[in-house]
Amino acid sequence: MNVRRFVITLYLTLFGAGVVAAGVFFWQAQQEYAALRANEQQTQAKLVEAQRNLSEQERTLERLQNDPAYVERVIRQRLGYAKPDEYIVRIRE
């Protein structure tokens, strides 16, 4: 009877150790999964921002290629160009 009790105790101990090991493994996997999800969300946000910037730049390029009035306005604003007989007055604030 003493041997039987020892074997049962041994099996229960091994089973308990297996359950603890599985729990630790599951907890680590859960932590890694949470970190990967957070990384995915950050990357997704960066992708959305990059796509928005690309769309905006494509619209600007399209207007620069097809809209002479827009090209003139951009040149005047960014480069400070003026037409002949036209003066640019800059007021400092």
pLDDT tens track for 71-86 = 989 988 888 888 888 8
pTM above 0.85, yes or no: no
Q: Span 44-73, mean pLDDT?
A: 96
The C-alpha atoms of residue 81 and residue 88 are separated, in whole angstroms, by: 8
The C-alpha atoms of residue 47 and residue 50 are separated, in whole angstroms, by: 5
Provide the token pair at 78.
């960014």
Q: Tell me if 78 sits within 8 A of 85, measured CB to CB.
A: no
Determine the number of helices (DSSP H) and then strands (DSSP E) in the chain. Answer: 2, 0
The C-alpha atoms of residue 81 and residue 85 are separated, in whole angstroms, by: 12
Q: What is the pLDDT of residue 79?
A: 84
